[in-house]
Structure 1
Amino acid sequence: MMQKYWALEHPWAHHVDKNSVPSVIAEAPQNAAAFVLNGLSMRSDEALFVEFARAMSFPDHFGKNWAALLDCLEDMTWNPPASSFLLVVSDWAAVLSESRDDKSLLETTLQEVGSRWAMEAPGRAPFNSLLVTETPSA
């Protein structure tokens, strides 16, 4: 069941409870890359961009805006090659809590990135995101 989080199929952003994360990571395919982002450090747009840059070692030219985030996530050539990518965003409830309008933009961005990697990227690779909550999803 956890393999769906490493798959090419929609959806690519998944709401999961924190107790599921170790099982998902344990089922990582060979040469997979997982990035853990601290949602408590992502309460504003600016803080979100800083945390993505830190956790994913974005290149120095990262522009710290939504378009630049999309560009970096769609072009992972600055990172070692991987068979699959997984973002784990802890404390999803805290993410963009100081700018609620943008939370849906982030989730849409992550879905779009997953779609492009699944359908358009050279060599197609799964790119999924776990949006982690404290309690089990209904």
Structure 2
Amino acid sequence: MNEVRDTLTGRLLLRQGVTSVAVLDALKLSSDYAVFEALNEQFRFPAYFGWNWDALYDCLADLSWLPADRYFVVIENADALETESGRPHGLLIDTLKRAAQAFLPESTGGREPAEFTVLMLCGGDDEALAARLRASGVVLDESWDSD
């Protein structure tokens, strides 16, 4: 899986401009706090980060303290994600989806548009994960599929 991650991430990073990448391991995201801690560590949230889901969305949808042309959240072992609403993984997926929408050109509110992409790397049953994500309303771009 590391080879796939490195290849795909390398393709993304070869583009011009500044790129900020957060790499998370779904196997280590077993609680709300673990999700908040992992993203806080990767994106260096400001001291006012409130350690709750609304605060996570606010920080991810802003990221003004970390200027970049594109932001990538790479989730390793993504096939381990539980997508049920109300669970840490389901809340994470919903929060990442909303944050990505905040970076769309029509949603930037006058700030410079940037790209916000979530890349999910699976070591196992990626079709089952894709079905669960689609069922939760996530729009998938499978053009990065390594198979």
TM-score normalised by the shorter chain: which range applies?
0.7 to 0.9
Q: Is the 1:33–1:84 Cα contact (8 Å) retained in structure 2?
A: yes
**Aligned partner of residue 49 in structure 1, secondary structure:** helix
Which structure has the larger Rg? 2
The alpha-carbon distance between structure 1 residues 112 and 100, as it changes in their structure 2 partners (threshold 3 A), is closer
**Alpha-carbon distance, 1:64 to partner:** 0.8
Structure scoring higher RCO (CA < 8 A, sep ≥ 6) equals 1
Distance 1:51 1:95, change over 3 A: farther
Unaligned runs of 5+ in 2: 128-147
Partner of 2:144: none
Q: How many residues align?
A: 120
Q: Check if 1:24 corresponds to 2:8.
A: yes
How far residue 58 of structure 1 moved from its aligned partner, in angstroms, is 1.1
Q: Which portions of structure 1, spanning 4 or more consecutive aligned residues, are displaced by more than 4 angstroms?
A: 93-97
Give the TM-score normalised by structure 2: 0.69
Percent identity, please. Answer: 28
Which ranges of structure 1 fall in alignment gaps of 5 or more residues? 1-16
1:33 aligns with 2:17: no
Does the 8 Å contact 1:44/1:95 carry over to 2? Answer: no
**SS at the partner of 2:121?**
strand
Cross-structure match for 1:87? 73
Give distance in 2, aligned partners of 1:77 and 1:46. 23
> Which structure 2 residues correspond to residues 1-138 of structure 1 after superposition, within 5 A?
19-27=3-11, 28=13, 29-30=15-16, 31-79=18-66, 81-95=67-81, 101-118=87-104, 119-121=106-108, 122-135=111-124, 137-138=126-127
The answer as to whether partners of 2:73 and 2:119 remain within 8 angstroms in 1 is: yes
Deviation (angstroms), 1:77:
1.1
Deviation at 1:19, TM superposition (A): 4.9
1:49/1:69 contact within 8 Å kept: yes
Q: Which residue identity does 2:25 align to in structure 1? A: N
Q: Secondary structure at the match of 1:115?
A: helix
Distance 1:105 1:55, change over 3 A: same
CA RMSD of aligned residues (A): 2.5
| Aligned residues of 2:35 and 2:92 also touching (Cα < 8 A) | no
1:54-81 deviations in whole A, cap 9, x for unaligned? 12111122111000000000111121x2
- The two structures have a TM-score, normalised by structure 1, of 0.73
Please state whether the residue corresponding to 2:126 is helix, strand or coil.
coil
CA contact (8 A) 2:82 2:90 kept: no
Give the distance between the partners of 1:58 and 1:51, measured in 2 at CA: 11
